[in-house]
Structure 1
Amino acid sequence: MHYLHLALGIIFAAALSIPILKMAKDGGLTVTNYREEKIPVAIGIAIFASIIAMALASHLMNLEVDYKYLFVITGVFVIGFLDDIIQDKENKGFKGHFKAFFKGTLTTGFLKAAGIPLLLLFYFSWDEYTIIIDLIFISLAVNLLNFFDLRPGRCQKVFLGWNILLLPFFTVINPIYLGALGMVSFTLLLDLKEKGMLGDAGANLLGIITGLNLLYLPLEIKYIMYTIVVILTIIGERYSFTKIIEKNPFLRFLDMLGRRK
């Protein structure tokens, strides 16, 4: 059944992505990219629509659907979508959003920082003694994926690379996660060709799927990954991943792979 979810992900992404990108462009849901070009910011919407379509198809075929998982990623997607619509460019990083909040300004970044842990409470049982630790690190994973959404395909490459490397170690494999791997395998091509952008909705979506997957790792590997998430988050808050990547020939090669010159 795992291969079926992977195939469904690719099929739904292929069917929905182009029409959704066109709809977003026609409706003015665009942003200016690093080339100063107007790009529809709707790849995240396409991935989310594909997840919903896959969940519906799975339900109709009597396949497993994790509704708590679906609820959480829907909420995180909505928070990111608000960010795409409002496009707060003044406040950056945790520090900027919390500073704005304590000055009396509510930002979408603060909504994400506060809202994602609250949404995650629906996913956990209160008798899990690690709940606070897991809440913190899953929220950090969502934020981390956003750091990489600055160049075409970068965030989706990180998502695919990270999750495929960990795939052999998962003790449980969620069907939505497998479907997302298939979807991103397709939407990555659109991102690389600059036909669309993930947006905060998409980066949040990939971040929450990545974060939730960490729960299904053996304990030792899970805490190693939590440590990596913290280290990368600190680096992302203090430095520019783009500059780090550009200075490293191997990372630059991976970053440029498939992109327009």
Structure 2
Amino acid sequence: MISTAIGLLIGGLVGAGCWWLTSDAFGVDALARTNYRGAPVVTGVGILIPVTVVLVVAAGRLVIAADDVIVSWDRLAAGTFVAAAGFCLLGLFDDVAGVGQSGGFRGHVASLRHGRVSSGMLKLVGGAAVGILTVSVLQQDNGTVVGLLRDGATVALAANLGNLFDRAPGRATKFTATLFVVLAAVAATSWLFVPAVAVGAGVGLLAPDLREKAMLGDAGSNVMGAMCGIAALVAFPAAPARWIVLAVLVGFNLLSEAVSFSAVIDAVAPLRWFDRLGSQRR
């Protein structure tokens, strides 16, 4: 757990530093949005999460002797980057190209009926592939095709769940970071250092998010969710437990088609307080 905390801290510092250095670069029309209050805001800053992962992992590899091959470290770093970069790329495309498109699974299916593939559908299919590749690299699939599909779906659905919380300033970061910490505590292993760096980077971007200057966008919320998926696989290595985790994720994703998570959060006082903590919403 100590290594996870260190990863969160390092990721937070580097992520915040990346925003401080690059914030002006996000002031382009393609990333300009208007938030729920009609205020101008930039989206897609979640791209700084995989950037942070690369910087920290590269620095860490330099610290480790070049001839000292640590298979577990390299595998963890590679798998985490596959998830971070893959889901970020798909999310960023949706941030830029998905403006005005119908949301939710129903909207994506409706687009297919009209002969169009929405950016969300591309993200859905691509996310499944990224999830499978992530699990394959991490070798968290128990060595079976069924395990690979199950665990790949877990990572992909967790990524989508992170996106479902991206409906208010700071919400996706708060809820995914909290879930990650809980899962890391259950896992009680140093194996989550690199995913912790990614989550820490998201937390490092929380300040401009809460100030309504920037949004993680799908580029960031998907990555934050995916890290929770990886943490869940590490926390629950037994096959029966992983099936339960997958069932829970399927349930929440399906529930989002019929229930507004925002309405539920606003209706439950502790959740509402946590959701609005530090934000300009009252």
TM-score past 0.5 threshold? yes
Q: Does 1:94 align with 2:105?
A: yes
* Matches of 1:250 and 1:190, distance apart in 2: 23
Report the identity percentage.
26
RMSD: 2.2
Which digits, 9 at most, give the CA deviation of each residue in 1:1-35, with x for residues without a partner? 82543332122112111233321025652211101
User: Do the aligned partners of residues 44 and 232 (structure 1) sit closer, same or farther apart at CA in structure 2, a change above 3 Å counting?
Assistant: same
TM-score, structure 1 normalization: 0.90
- Say yes or no: does 1:54 pair with 2:56: yes
Which of 244-253 and 198-207 deviates more? Answer: 244-253
Q: Secondary structure in 2 aligned to 1:31? A: strand
Query: What corresponds to 1:185 in structure 2?
Result: 203
Aligned residues: 261
CA pair 242-6 structure 1, distance change in 2 beyond 3 A? closer
Give the conservation status (yes or no) of the 8 Å contact 2:44–2:92. Answer: no
One-letter identity of the residue aligned with 2:98? Q
Residue 172 of structure 2 is matched in structure 1 by 155
Query: For the residues of structure 2 that align with 1:212 and 1:95, how far apart are their CA atoms?
Result: 27
- Would you say 1:249 and 2:251 are equivalent positions? no
Following the alignment from structure 1 to structure 2, what is the Cα–Cα distance between the partners of residues 21 and 41?
11
Shift in Å at residue 186 of structure 1? 2.1
* Match of residue 216, structure 2, among 198, 206, 216: 198
Superposed counterparts of 1:1-261, under 5 Å: 2=3, 4-26=6-28, 29-62=31-64, 64-65=73-74, 66-123=77-134, 124=136, 127-128=143-144, 129-170=146-187, 172=189, 173-218=191-236, 219=238, 221-261=241-281
User: One-letter code of the match for 1:177?
Assistant: P
AA matched with 1:251:
L
* C-alpha separation in 2, matches of 1:113 and 1:23: 28
Q: Residue 45 of structure 1: SS of its match in structure 2?
A: helix
The 3-state SS of whatever aligns with 1:91 is coil
- Structure 1 stretches lacking a partner, 5+ long: none
2:17 maps to a residue whose letter is A
- Secondary structure in 2 aligned to 1:156? helix
For residues 254 and 162 of structure 1, the distance between their equivalents in structure 2, rounded to whole angstroms, comes to 13
Task: Return the TM-score normalized by structure 2.
Answer: 0.84
